[in-house]
C-alpha cells in the first residue's frame, strides 16, 4: 500500500494559485519516488504561490514521507512559492523534526577524485608503478633466496604440496594442452601445404610442423594455456589467503610464506610444464601427420623420417628450457599477484586477471629475448 494524493486549489482564496495537497494512505518508501516526480513536475509547471501539505489522512509515515515533503518544499522554494505542512500528528512531527535532510551531503557520495592535471596523473601512475616494481624486485629476491634455502635444506620443501600442484598444473591440463597441440599441428600442416605444394615441396610440411612446434609454438602455446589455467588459480588462491589473513597467520607461526606457498608451486610448474610442452609437440606432430598422410599422400614412414631429420636433440632441449623459464615466470607472477592482493573479493579477481595478463606479456617478452639470443648463437 502506498500513498495517494489530491491537489485542491483553494477556491475562497483571492489568488487561484494556492493549493492544498491532501496526502492519504501510507507515506513510506513505496510510492515516494512517483510522489516527488508527479507533484514536483506540476508545481514546476503551474508555479503555485502557496502550497500546504495536509497529512490528516496519512496512516503511516516514516522518513521517506519526510523526504517527500522535503523534496517538494525545495521545489516550491525554487518556484518562489511558500510551503507549509498541517495535520501532522505527534509521531509525524517526530519524523519531520528528526529528518535532517537539510544537512550537507557532499561527503557521502563524493568519490576520491583523481587530479585532472596530466602531470600529476603521470606522476601518480609512475610512483604506483615504481612501488609495484619495488615489490616485484623484493619478491623475486625472496623467491631466489627461498629456492636456495630449499636446495640447501631439501626437507624444508613441502613435498606433498608440490606433488599436488604438479598434478593440478600438469596432469589436469594434459587434455586441453594435447587438444590445442593437435589442432595447431593440423592447422599448420594444412596452411603450409597450400604454399609448399606449388613447388612440389609437400615433404617439407613435416619439417615445418616439427621445427616450428618444438622450438617455438609448443612452448608458447603450452605456457599460455598454463598461465590461463594455473597462473590465475595461484593468484586467486594466494590472494584469498592474503585477504583472509591466512598468510599473516603463517608468518606469525614462523613459516616463510614464500617457501610455504610460492616455492612448491614454482618447482611443480618448472617440472611439469616442459613435460606438457613435449606432449603438446607430440600431438602437434600427430596432427601434421594426419594431414600429410591423408591429404598430401605422404607415407607414414616418409613423414616420420622427415620429422626426425628436421629435429635435433638440441632443438628439443632448447624448447624444454624455454618452457621451464616460462613456467617459472607464470608461477612467480601468479604468486606475486596473489601476495599483492589487498581489500575484498574484487581484489582476488583483479589479482587473477593481472596474473594472466602479466604472464602472457612476460612470456612473449622472454621469447623475443630468446629469439635474439638464438640468432647470435
- The residue (of 243 and 363) whose beta carbon lies closer to other proteins is 243
How many angstroms separate the CA atoms of 169 and 276, rounded?
9
The nearest distance, CB 60 to other proteins, in angstroms, is: 10
Specify the pairing of strand 18-27 against strand 50-61.
parallel
Residues 332, 337, 340: CA angle, nearest 5 degrees? 125
Smallest gap from residue 369 Cβ to other proteins (A): 37
The 10 Å Cβ neighbour count of residue 325 is: 21
The whole-angstrom separation of Cα 73 and Cα 83 is: 6
Q: Nearest distance from residue 276's CB to other proteins, in Å?
A: 35
Distance in Å, CB of 94 to other proteins, minimum: 7
**CA gap 329, 327 in Å, rounded:** 5
Which is closer to other proteins, CB of 107 or CB of 252? 107
CA gap 137, 79 in Å, rounded: 63
The three three-digit cell numbers of residue 155, written as one number:
626437507
Distance between CA 358 and CA 352 in Å, rounded? 10
Q: Given the complex with other proteins, which of 28 and 228 has the nearer CB atom?
A: 28
- The CB-of-112 to other proteins minimum distance in angstroms stands at 6
* Shortest Å distance, C-beta 216 to other proteins: 40
Contacts of 80 (CB under 8 A, 6+ apart): 47
* CA distances to 119, 256, 308, 320 from 114, in Å: 12, 37, 60, 46
Cα–Cα nearest to 265, from 203, 328, 212, 309? 328
β partners of residue 27: 61
Q: At CA 210, angle to CA 204 and CA 211, rounded to 5?
A: 90
How is residue 80 annotated by DSSP?
T
Site residues (vs other proteins, CB under 8 A): 28-30, 32-34, 36-37, 62-64, 67, 70-71, 94-95, 98-101, 103, 105, 107-112, 342-347
Least distance (Å) between residue 259 CB and other proteins: 28
Of 107 and 118, which has the nearer Cβ to other proteins?
A: 107
Whole-number Å distance between alpha carbons of 360 and 229: 12
**What residues does 24 pair with on adjacent strands?**
4, 57
For residue 371, the minimal CB distance to other proteins (Å) is 41
Amino acid at each position: 500500500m502506498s500513498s495517494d494524493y489530491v491537489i485542491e486549489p483553494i477556491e475562497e482564496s483571492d489568488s487561484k494559485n494556492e493549493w492544498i495537497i491532501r496526502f492519504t494512505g501510507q507515506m513510506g518508501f513505496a510510492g515516494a519516488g512517483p510522489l516527488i516526480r508527479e507533484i514536483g513536475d506540476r508545481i514546476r509547471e503551474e508555479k503555485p504561490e502557496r502550497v500546504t501539505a495536509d497529512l490528516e489522512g496519512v496512516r503511516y509515515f516514516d522518513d521517506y514521507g519526510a523526504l517527500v515533503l522535503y523534496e517538494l518544499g525545495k521545489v516550491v522554494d525554487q518556484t518562489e512559492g511558500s510551503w507549509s505542512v498541517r495535520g501532522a500528528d505527534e509521531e509525524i512531527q517526530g519524523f519531520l523534526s528528526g529528518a535532517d535532510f537539510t544537512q550537507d551531503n557532499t561527503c557521502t557520495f563524493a568519490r576520491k577524485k583523481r587530479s585532472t592535471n596530466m602531470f600529476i596523473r603521470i606522476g601518480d601512475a609512475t610512483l604506483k608503478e615504481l612501488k609495484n616494481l619495488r615489490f616485484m624486485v623484493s619478491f623475486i629476491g625472496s623467491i631466489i633466496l627461498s629456492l636456495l634455502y630449499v636446495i640447501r635444506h631439501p626437507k624444508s620443501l613441502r613435498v606433498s604440496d608440490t606433488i599436488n600442484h604438479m598434478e593440478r598444473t600438469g596432469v589436469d591440463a594434459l587434455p586441453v594442452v594435447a587438444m590445442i597441440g593437435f589442432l595447431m599441428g593440423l592447422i599448420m600442416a594444412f596452411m603450409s601445404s597450400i604454399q609448399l605444394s606449388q613447388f612440389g615441396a609437400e615433404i617439407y610440411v613435416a619439417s615445418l610442423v616439427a621445427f616450428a612446434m618444438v622450438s617455438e609454438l609448443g612452448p608458447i602455446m603450452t605456457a599460455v594455456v598454463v598461465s590461463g589455467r594455473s597462473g590465475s588459480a595461484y593468484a586467486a588462491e594466494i590472494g584469498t589467503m592474503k585477504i583472509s589473513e591466512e598468510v599473516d597467520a603463517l608468518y606469525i607461526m614462523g613459516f616463510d610464506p614464500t617457501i610455504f606457498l610460492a616455492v612448491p608451486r614454482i618447482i611443480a610448474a618448472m617440472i611439469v610444464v616442459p613435460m606438457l610442452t613435449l606432449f603438446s609437440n607430440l600431438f602437434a606432430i600427430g596432427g601434421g601427420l594426419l594431414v600429410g598422410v591423408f591429404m598430401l599422400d605422404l607415407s607414414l614412414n616418409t613423414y616420420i623420417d622427415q620429422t626426425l631429420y628436421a629435429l635435433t636433440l638440441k632443438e628439443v632441449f632448447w624448447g624444454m628450457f624455454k618452457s621451464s623459464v616460462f613456467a617459472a615466470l607464470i608461477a612467480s607472477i601468479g604468486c606475486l599477484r596473489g601476495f599483492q592482493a589487498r581489500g575484498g573479493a574484487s581484489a582476488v579477481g583483479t589479482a587473477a586477471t593481472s596474473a594472466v595478463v602479466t604472464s602472457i606479456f612476460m612470456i612473449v617478452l622472454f621469447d623475443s629475448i630468446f629469439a635474439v639470443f638464438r640468432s647470435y648463437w
